[in-house]
Amino acid sequence: MAAPMGKLEFYVFSKHLQFLSWAEAGAAAKELGFDGVDLTVRKGGHVTPERVVEDLPRAAEALRSGGSRLAMITTDIADMTTSYAETVLRTAKKVGITHYRWDGYKYKEGVGLPEQLAGFAPRVKELAAFNKEVGLCAMYHTHSGAGRVGASQWDLWMLLKDLDKKYVSYNFDVSHATIEGGLGGWIHSTNLAMPHMGGMALKDFKWGRGANGKWRVDWCPVGEGMVQTREFLKMARMGGFAGPVQVHFEYDLGGADKGATKITMPKAQVLAAMKKDLIALRAAAAEAGWA
């Protein structure tokens, strides 16, 4: 269910809690102050696609028994030809899921972008049609980097502009948008995506230099980087955003940042870092005018 106007619902990406069981993850998310969990239902995730029928209902019950909402999942579904796609989505609907992240597309070298986008379009339309049938919203997560559809934003807009955002939409990651356009590009990207934005993801980064002298993205705690979170959330409020907000932790957390099932940092330290970021995000949301 989308968040009502005036309220943001924050979901912790369960990639960062894969050192915990379903029940433990649900309880931890609740204790940290999250509204719910964005559960990984993909290869190597909290639930694997081949076991979704058996495990997703159990995972949903365990998470919810710990006091966490489960309104969305993250999948590796690219289109309806992906293995287990229909099974994953129909099972998700049965257990009360309303939104899911769908896997991104990549460009091939040596082929024109317009031609490749024309090839992606029927896949997106088919996914939208299935989502309409079952009552789900797919959210395309925007990454940065060469070769990724959605990094430049306009290409994803072309795929989504004529389709109903109730069924296929952006999962807008403002950090990746800032990586691609740190001065004004992220602002234009936000304005372009806003009418099609079903969800958003929040984290922070700054530029750094490696030992080889090359510039790189250094992920960091919220508020320590260059992402203008408050300004972005103000734009989202003014644009009428209503959807799940996922919180990601990509900086060093003893392996939790990479989805490890065993971490090298004390659990309490990992969870404290997550809580600190959430507090900062809720403060930014309040400053941006969200209830």
CB atoms under 10 Å from CB of 287, counted, come to: 13
Write the pLDDT tens digit of every residue in 62-117.
999 999 999 999 999 999 999 999 999 999 999 999 999 999 999 999 999 999 99
- Per the structure, the count of domains in the chain is 1
Is residue 3 in a domain? no
Q: 146, 82, 159: which is closest to 119 by C-alpha?
A: 159
Torsion angle defined by CA atoms of residues 189, 190, 191 and 197, in that order, rounded to the nearest 10 degrees: 110
pLDDT of residue 5: 54
Residue 4 pLDDT grade (very low, low, confident, very high; cuts 50, 70, 90): very low
Is residue 183 in a domain? yes
Write the pLDDT tens digit of every residue in 135-166.
999 999 999 999 999 999 999 999 999 999 99
In degrees, rounded to 5, the angle at the alpha carbon of residue 65 between the alpha carbons of residues 61 and 69 is 80
pLDDT of residue 7: 86
pLDDT of residue 192: 97
Q: Structural domain of residue 185, as residue ranges?
A: 9-287
Is residue 267 in a domain? yes
Is residue 1 in a domain? no
Mean pLDDT over 264-273 rounds to: 98
Residue 3 pLDDT grade (very low, low, confident, very high; cuts 50, 70, 90): very low
Does the predicted TM-score (pTM) go above 0.85? Answer: yes
pLDDT of residue 6: 67
Q: 209, 208, 145: which is closest to 177 by C-alpha?
A: 145
* 143 phi and psi angles, rounded to 5 deg: -110, 175
Residue 272 is inside which H or E element, if any?
helix 267-287
pLDDT above 90 covers a percentage of the chain that reads: 97
Is residue 35 in a domain? yes
Is residue 190 in a domain? yes
Is residue 153 in a domain? yes
Q: 69, 71, 76, 77: which is closest to 44 by C-alpha?
A: 76
Write the pLDDT tens digit of every residue in 249-261.
999 999 999 999 9
Query: Domain with 246 in it: what CATH number?
Result: 3.20.20.150
Average pLDDT for the chain: 96
CB 238 within 8 A of CB 6: no
In whole angstroms, give the CA distance from residue 32 to residue 271.
7
pLDDT of residue 1: 42
Write the pLDDT tens digit of every residue in 171-186.
999 999 999 999 999 9
3-state secondary structure of 132: helix
Is residue 4 in a domain? no
pLDDT above 70 covers a percentage of the chain that reads: 98
